Amino acid sequence: MRFVANLLALALVVPSAWAAPVVERQDGLTLYQLQISSPGHAEIDGRWIAFDGSTLGLFVEDQPPVQVFTLESKKKGLVELHTYPIGIVDHALGLQGPPGLLTFVDLVNPRMGDPEDGTVKVWDTFRVSDGKLINEGQGEWCAFPLQTGGWVVKWYDGSRAIIANYMPVEIHMREVDKGNHNDLQN
């Protein structure tokens, strides 16, 4: 009976380990934090992107910046951004929402599950060019103000009308000092 219980416990752990990406040792990773650039807008320029639940943006409460590492995407010349520290369950940054205006989010096990009808979900279409993070295809990063304060980051491709106030921004990938993976920059 004990053998069956041990086998059952192993069966529950193995599939979740398969869901995580294959990565080298954690101390060999190059980690990045994501910084907003919006010259002329001092309230957001130079701030670090953080989580609020699964949404990424600039928030009123001090939260540690998101830390990510890159993995080569199956799509040639593109990368995936996976969160650090690495856990049993894979977390990748992605874009999700209605076509044309996608929210920058943390996706749990992004390869699993299909998005709801009419919803777009991508996580493997990022490119880093001159230290700037962009999504493949036409569009730009934008910051949308929240009523509670702070800003949500989205990718806008110009295909839909937007009546809300927003600000175009750039996202810079800043390498974290290799000796200080736990010493977050704010």
Q: Are 12 and 21 in contact (CB under 8 A)?
A: no
pLDDT of residue 26: 57
CA 79 to mean position of chain CA atoms? 12
For the chain, give the longest Cα–Cα distance.
68
Share of the chain above pLDDT 90, in %: 61
pLDDT of residue 180: 52
| Cα 14 from Cα 26, distance rounded (Å) | 20
Does residue 16 surpass a pLDDT of 50? no
- What is the C-alpha R_g of the chain? 18
| Cα 92 from Cα 95, distance rounded (Å) | 10
Phi, psi angle pair for 148, to nearest 5°: -85, 0
Its pTM stands at: 0.80
Does residue 156 surpass a pLDDT of 50? yes
Domains of the chain as residue ranges with CATH: 29-175 (2.80.10)
- What's the rounded mean pLDDT across residues 136-164? 92
Does residue 104 surpass a pLDDT of 90? yes
Q: Which two tokens stand for residue 15?
A: 């599939």
E-assigned strands of 53-100? 55-58, 67-72, 79-83, 91-97
Q: Which two tokens stand for residue 65?
A: 């910046």
pLDDT of residue 7: 39
Does residue 27 surpass a pLDDT of 70? no
pLDDT higher for 185 or 123?
123
Q: Which two tokens stand for residue 149?
A: 């304060």
Confidence of residue 133 (pLDDT cuts 50, 70, 90): very high
Coil, strand or helix at 153 = strand
Share of the chain above pLDDT 70, in %: 81
Q: Are 35 and 175 in contact (CB under 8 A)?
A: no
| Cα 106 from Cα 108, distance rounded (Å) | 7
Does residue 24 surpass a pLDDT of 60? no
User: Per 3-state DSSP, what percentage of the chain is helix, strand, and coil (rounded to 5)?
Assistant: 10, 40, 50
- What's the rounded mean pLDDT across residues 116-134? 91
- What's the rounded mean pLDDT across residues 2-20? 44
Residue type, 12: L
Neighbours of 144 (CB within 10 A): 18
